[in-house]
Amino acid sequence: MDTNQDLPAIDSHRALQIWVTENLKMLPLPERAHGTFFEECCYIILHVPQSPKANQGGSSDLHYWIGKEASAETQGAAVTSVQRLQEVLGEQTVLHRESQGHESDCFHSYFHPGVVYRKGGRASVLKHVETNVYNVQQLLHIRGRKHVSATEVTLSWNSFNKGDIFLLDLGKVMIQWNGPKTSISEKSRALALTCSLRDRERSGRAQIGVVDDENKATDLVHIMEAVLGCRSGSMSAAVPSDSVSQQQKANIRLYHVFEKGMDLVVQELATRPLTQDLLQEEGCYLLDQGGFKIYMWQGRKSSPQDKKSAFTRAVGFIQAKGYPSYTNVEVVSDGAESTAFQQLFQTWLKEPDGKKHRVGHKRMQAKLDVSKLHTQPELAAQLRMVDDGSGQVEVWCIQDLQRQPVDPKHHGQLCSGNCYLALYTYKKLGSVRYILYLWQGLQTTIEDTKALNGNAEEMDLMYHGALVQAHVTMGREPPHFLAIFQGQLVVFQGCADNGGKRPPISSTRLFHMQGADSLNTRTMEVPARASSLMSSDIFFLVTTDVCYLWFGKGCSGDQREMARMVVTVFAGNNTETVLEGREPPHFWEALGGRAPYPSNKRLPEVSSTQPRLFECSSPSGCLVLTEVVFFDQEDLDKYDIMLLDACQEIFLWLGEEAGEQRKEAVAWGREYLRTHPAERLLDTPIIVVKQGHEPATFTGWFVTWDPYKWMNNQSYEEVVEGSLGPASAISEITAEVHNFQLTRGPGDNKAGPLTLLAFKSSQESPENDLKLGHRVDGKNPSKSPSEGCSSSAANGSLPRERLMHQAVEDLPQGVDPARKEFYLSDSDFQDIFGKSKEEFYSMAKWKQQQEKKKLGFF
């Protein structure tokens, strides 16, 4: 789409486009510069979802980013540019204001493995676009858990602290110093960012060193001290995280913003729970999420002036409330709301073409095709079914704190005063899979619940951690739990007898059946009185003499057929069919007389099936969630505990190296529901999934899923070893530190960017001027085989036959065995791998290794 004047052309087929603003011009950045931001500048970022399963429901996101040193003039120009661009893009665009160091989760989700903040302005931006620049001495401060950032800081030991990670970038050598209080996951993510910087900015040619223990990395520490000076005094303690807890995010207030005469009125309307009908299409509304984020909602019939003033009004509100100036702002238009905004309301309906319909995928109404569930995991996720429930079922009742097996003929007959374990075994693509349901009745005790969880953990150990654990509350059973009992799930009031057998029926009881087939039917005991009836459903009235099948006027033929199957559970009673309005006197007598009851059809459950993925942590005892907005399998890290909110159920994914916090996962899931701004139902099913044992109901929410990805899962130590390569550059600098005189005098502990004379020759590398096949002096390289190999290896131009399928001992001198592909010429690399080196090194490490194995470079 070409626009006039100074607006850039927009490529709708590119997911991410970034411009740096200069006056009223927008200068595009090349892809290799994405993720690096200079603090004196302002940037504009446009994200256009390319996947049909995009998490934001198809809306584009337009961000303007403000560097912390950006002038007021620069900021004003950026605001003007972004507003003009939004006019071109239309109202289907969500607009965000981002401030350096306080960006939204949506913003951070674009940049893997992290963002880099550097000092400087536009001149630095243009210089940074160059690659293979080795005349560098910088210190980067790396922070963050799921969303990692690296900020350029003063080149001094005073910048360090014990709780974070610092990267000393010396051009040819990059030294990652890990604070003693940092976790393995933080070290691993920082190393991924370090490797990315090496590959993007040095074409993979810089040497990485990692300092985990200073006593075991003396050479690296010696280099650091040569640059930073000798360290004096104790290092600063860890800086506490400023993350916002879920409890804080639950504080929401809605305001109506309108003009009255010459005055702007901001009128508070409601606090949580909010309902969508509070938003009127003629108005503009401000939603304050605990001072953490400000949303501006624009009705489709609001005035152009209201829409143009949205940002200004949000900033004015932030100032009036005394909130930090970096508070995030998001402007959404009627009909193009982000998922995060929608889920602040109890229910959300969309109105395309004037007709309301519930958000979410259409449910399959036809008979379930089991084969499709195995080949279409997204269907399994939407239907919440791994199969048709025809696998093997074992049931235990928790009695006297122990699990007692239940006779198969009583499977599905549960009591509200008990807890049960139901183990479901099935096969998928030839492998055996397990789901352990932890069912909790509404009349159970705390001791019963503890025993249920304890017995589940014992069983998980017996099955070597292969059990998917689904925590289910009576009355909120997921479809697959109903399916494993083939429509015969009946819940009785009271407690079970020994062996889990339900007690005999000795008085009048009333049971409510919901569902129309063997995959969605449950029957629950309700109070035996006429007010419990409902015209849309079927009820069983069981007395000592007869069992009445009461068919409400609104029930379907399928429901009636199902009822004739369920009634066999109450064997031993004579059965009599009763139609609503034709009940015999004894029917009403058994219920204690007539009484009013609902006659309207029961509305289906309203739900949004737009999933959201969060990383869970609890740094100070309170749950903190970090959202990954446009997620895929790559966002699941073995050190993580992730929460996937699929609306009707909550998944907790446990990485294999998640540590002791794994025990908190279910409690975190419950806290998430309890503190949700929309006041979610506390009995929503919570499903615990372990890395490598993910069911289709979980994997189906991801755009793609590779079941073999975890087989190539390296430890942090293996990643460190694989990232370092040969230590030649470090050895050279170490020797120079030992053998050459530093510019500072004896006893002078100060050091700066130009202290090491010995580094000058290596940092101002002639590789900046090298062209493949020529020397610096312009002469052709020697024809000597050994010299030719050495020269070619240094310049990345070895013939493919010297590298492909070669053992380590057969490689030319100077070739790093772990990076054989790097020494190909650019044309050979493109021909063999089908992509440029830059594209290859921007891929995930495991994907790189897979391609290298396949093509003979591993």
Element (H, E) at 167: strand 165-169
SS3 category, 761:
helix
Give backbone dihedrals phi and psi of 152, rounded to 5 degrees, phi first: -70, 130
For the residues of 434-495, what is the DSSP string, one character each? EEEEEEE-TT--HHHHHHHHHHHHHHHHHTTT-EEEEEEETT---HHHHHHTTT-EEEESS-
CB 720 within 8 A of CB 213: no
Strand partners, 177: 166, 211
C-alpha gyration radius of the chain = 32
Pairing state between β 419-428 and 392-399: antiparallel
Backbone torsions φ then ψ of 853, nearest 5 degrees: -60, -45
Q: What is the DSSP letter of 245?
A: P
Q: What one-character DSSP code corresponds to residue 643?
A: E
Between CA 832 and CA 799 the distance in angstroms is 12
Q: What is the rounded CA–CA span in Å between residue 5 and residue 402?
A: 76
Alpha helix stretches (DSSP H) within 796-858: 826-833, 837-841, 845-855
pLDDT tens for 351-403 read: 544 444 444 334 444 455 666 777 789 999 989 999 989 999 999 999 999 99
CB 75 within 8 A of CB 40: no
Burial state string for 599-629 with b = 16 or more CB within 10 A and e = fewer than 16: eeeeeeeeebbbbbbbbbbeeeeebbbbbbb
pLDDT at 89: 87
Q: Which two tokens stand for residue 623?
A: 């749950």
Q: Give the pair of three-digit tokens for residue 718.
A: 């293996």
Helix (H/G/I), strand (E/B), else coil: 89: helix
Prior bond to 273 cis, omega within 30?
Answer: yes
Q: What is the pLDDT of residues 103-123, one digit of tens each?
A: 999 999 999 999 999 998 877
Name residues of the chain where pLDDT drops below 70.
Answer: 1-6, 51-58, 126-133, 351-371, 571-573, 601-609, 723-797, 814
Q: Quote the CA–CA distance of 143 and 186 in Å, as a whole number.
A: 8
CA dihedral sign, ordered 586, 587, 590, 593: negative
- What is the model's pLDDT at position 203? 84
Judge residue 69's burial from the number of C-beta atoms within 10 Å of its C-beta, 0-12 exposed, 13-18 middle, 19 or more buried.
Answer: middle
CA–CA–CA angle 41, 43, 47 (5° rounding): 165
Extended beta strands in 281-377, E state? 284-289, 293-298, 328-333, 349-350, 357-358
Q: Are the C-beta atoms of 306 and 284 separated by less than 8 Å?
A: yes
> Residue 851: what pLDDT?
87
Instruction: Return d(Cα 550, Cα 537) in angstroms, integer.
Output: 9
Contact status, residue 508 vs residue 526, Cβ threshold 8 Å: no
Burial class of residue 701, CB neighbours in 10 A (0-12, 13-18, 19+): buried
Q: Spell out the alpha helix ranges (H) of 567-712.
A: 585-590, 665-675, 696-699
C-alpha to C-alpha distance for 555 and 561, rounded to whole angstroms:
11
pTM of the full structure: 0.82
Q: What does the DSSP assignment read for 53-71?
A: T-TTTT-EEEEEEE-TT--
Residue 244 CA to residue 254 CA, distance in Å, equals 20
Burial category of 153 from C-beta neighbours within 10 Å (exposed 0-12, middle 13-18, buried 19 and up): middle
Q: Are 673 and 681 in contact (CB under 8 A)?
A: yes
Instruction: State how far the Cα of 266 lies from the Cα of 271, in Å rounded to an integer.
Output: 15
Contact yes or no for 255/294 (Cβ under 8 A): no
What pLDDT sits at residue 131? Answer: 57
